[in-house]
Chain A
Amino acid sequence: MDSIKDFVKTYSREICISAAVGVALVTIIKRRKKRIKKVYPANTVVHHQIGRGPHAPSLTPFALKLETYLRMAKVPFMNEFDSSTNRSSKGKMTWIEYNGEEIADSEFCMQYVNRKFNVDLDKDFSEEDQAAARAIQRMVDEHLYWTVALYRWVYDLQHGIDVSTQLKIPWPFVRLLGNMVKKQSYGQGVGRHSEAEVHQVMEEDLQALSKFLGKKKFLLGERACSADCSVFGMLGQLHWHSYGSEAAKIYKKYPNLGDYCERMKEEFWPDWDDCITHGWTREATK
């Protein structure tokens, strides 16, 4: 111990210089890696996302939403599972690239694809139905999302659920993510409520979704619309990735939502089993 102290004292200047050079080298190497952009096939949407999930194709609702949409729109696309380190320009983990152009945010990605490929999944619905679907998408992506995030990253841990093993994320990162979600949701507003209040507003949102859907096949009837992608992406997390938590108990009160998830899976994900890791027991092949 003493010899280490002596060593540090004697060579403190050399140690500082080496550390600074080390940091500089790492930064330069990382920047160089980023600048060497990969070349992708032309006219193919490259969907950057995090890796496949244990029981659903993604652990994040927005990647599941966006990929479901790309399948619904039947546009040529490929997946690149690199966005844990290769984030979008807005610091998020779901984005697309098309012929060298980068687009962030799932809603903007969908609008971009609509323009480029001349797709409009909602055109045959009435204006009132389209407006209602827009409101449902906002409720799910801007409000329900936060209740799901709080349960997954904050409350489940407090209830003793082993989030780290289930989501295959090292325990210190789970803590860090929990703190980040607490801070972000506080700014957003939902995070200022108590757990009981978050429970209540989550139930109100799920009840509204359940009543809006009713006995219909999809949100607006027999045919799926773009808002179905948002709803499926979010409910998919509750349906497949809630592990018996309090959030799952609220969700199970509305069985028509569970049936809806299974229908969406049958319709747009016939290769579902190849797109999940089956509880981290094998690699997803797609």
Chain B
Amino acid sequence: MYVAGMSSWTWVCVMGGALVCVGVVTRIVCRQRRRLPVPRDVVLVHHFFGRGWKVPSKSPFPMKLETFLRITKTPYMNDHSGRMSAKGKTPWIEYNDTQVSDSQFCIEFLKKKKGIDLNRGLSEQQKAIARAFLKLIEENLYWALCIELFCNEANIPLLKPMSPLKGLGFWLYYWFVKRSIKSATWGHGIGRHSVEDVWTIAQADIQALSQYLGQKKYFMGEEPAEIDCTLFGMLSFLLVTMQGTRYESFTKQNHANLVTYFQRMKSSYWPDWDTLITASESFQNDQGPTHYSGLSFILTC
């Protein structure tokens, strides 16, 4: 069937493309209009799509950044709208009109601007060890956790309650996230291993963390250091988001010192944890929208 010189299929494609363009432009315009009025000298933290179901953040990196701000008592405000940085990474921050992305660069930036240094009590060798563990956690263990959660089908029942999308929406989301992780981890290298091989790698990392922590109050000693922010963020992912997986039970059974460490950090720096998780009855939205539903996410402002 032809209308105005174009077949009906061409019309369908043209209209579909036009709708997508309108949706994207509307979203961009709405986001720009909706910039939060943040005061001077207050850090605006852009989170990964709002608070989590049982953890204040779905991703360990905003947890790391926010824990750092809490330990250092830096004034900050949260934005849960899900805006991404120019690098396509999140979390990211804005501070007095400067944007910084990547959680580690954000921390380095704030150290310089605010003159704070959680590592000042560490020797040079301790700083070096802390950096090595930072990389073990963020460049290796993190990917192992993602692979287990999204590429091991045994964990699908755990993901379903966490996701605000149900039915077909959940399956589309799951397929999309799994595909992204497989693609990123293939390039990284760790994704070329089977899920069982990745499990072996993760056990070695968790063991190393437990062995180095030992019976210390914080990872490096008696005072919290930057690495504690990273480790706490990753443990909240491992022990709470991944609750019910073999990774969590392995850690609880064999490396209980990591669990007690996590509880200590949580009660010291996150006493309001229960008001920041959507599964809790006492949940309070501490800034910006915290939920979304499927396609309406693209079109709502």
Contacts and interface: CB of A to CB of B under 8 A. Distances in A.
Q: Chain B CB within 10 Å — which of A108, A138, A188 has the most?
A: A138
Contact of B214 (A128, A135, A186, A188): A128
Given A143-B139, A185-B187, A211-B124, A135 B129 contact: yes
B228 to A, nearest CB: 15
Contact of B192 (A92, A135, A143, A204): A92
Interface string A156-191: 000000000000000000000000000111111100
B188 interface: yes
B116 interface: no
Contacts of B133: 135
Contacts of B185: 187
Contacts of A187: 183-188
B135 interface: yes
B266 interface: no
A142 B135 contact: yes
B105 A211 contact: no
Interface string A129-141: 0111011101100
A187 B134 CA distance: 19
A153 to B, nearest CB: 13
A128 B205 contact: no
B188 to A, nearest CB: 4
A40 interface: no
A215 B240 CA distance: 42
A91 interface: yes
Given A187-B187, A188-B187, A134 B131 contact: no
B223 interface: no
A34 interface: no
Nearest to B86: A192
B211 A130 contact: yes
Contact of A197 (B105, B124, B132, B189): B105
B125 A131 contact: no
Contacts of A188: 139, 184, 187-188
Contacts of B129: 132, 135, 212
Task: Name A's interface SS.
Answer: helix
A139 B105 contact: no
Contacts of A14: none
B117 interface: no
A274 interface: no
A205 interface: yes
A138 B193 contact: no
A249 interface: no
B246 interface: no
A132 B184 contact: no
A212 B214 contact: no
A108 B189 CA distance: 13
A105 interface: yes
B158 to A, nearest CB: 25
Interface in B107-143: 124-125, 127-129, 131-136, 139-140
A91 B133 CA distance: 28
Given A211-B125, A212-B125, A135 B135 contact: yes
B204 interface: yes
Report the interface size class on chain A.
35 or more
Interface in A29-75: none
B212 interface: yes
A130 B205 CA distance: 11
Contacts of A104: 192
Contacts of B135: 135, 138-139, 142-143, 205
Given A183-B187, A193-B102, A214-B125, A136 B211 contact: no
A145 to B, nearest CB: 9
B177 to A, nearest CB: 14
A187 B140 CA distance: 13
A128 B187 contact: no
A22 B125 CA distance: 61
Contacts of B193: 90, 105, 108
A105 B200 CA distance: 13
Contact of B205 (A138, A185, A186, A205): A138
A208 B188 contact: no
Nearest to B105: A197
A107 B198 CA distance: 12
Nearest to B181: A187
A108 B197 contact: yes
B89 interface: yes
Contacts of B124: 211
B88 interface: yes
Contacts of A91: 192
B165 interface: no
B209 interface: yes
Interface string B197-213: 10011001101110110
7 contacts: A105-B197, A127-B214, A134-B136, A139-B131, A142-B140, A187-B188, A188-B188
Given A187-B183, A192-B102, 10 more contacts: A90-B193, A92-B192, A134-B136, A134-B208, A138-B135, A138-B136, A139-B132, A139-B136, A188-B139, A211-B128
4 tightest Cβ-Cβ pairs between the two chains A and B: A184-B187, A187-B184, A139-B135, A135-B132
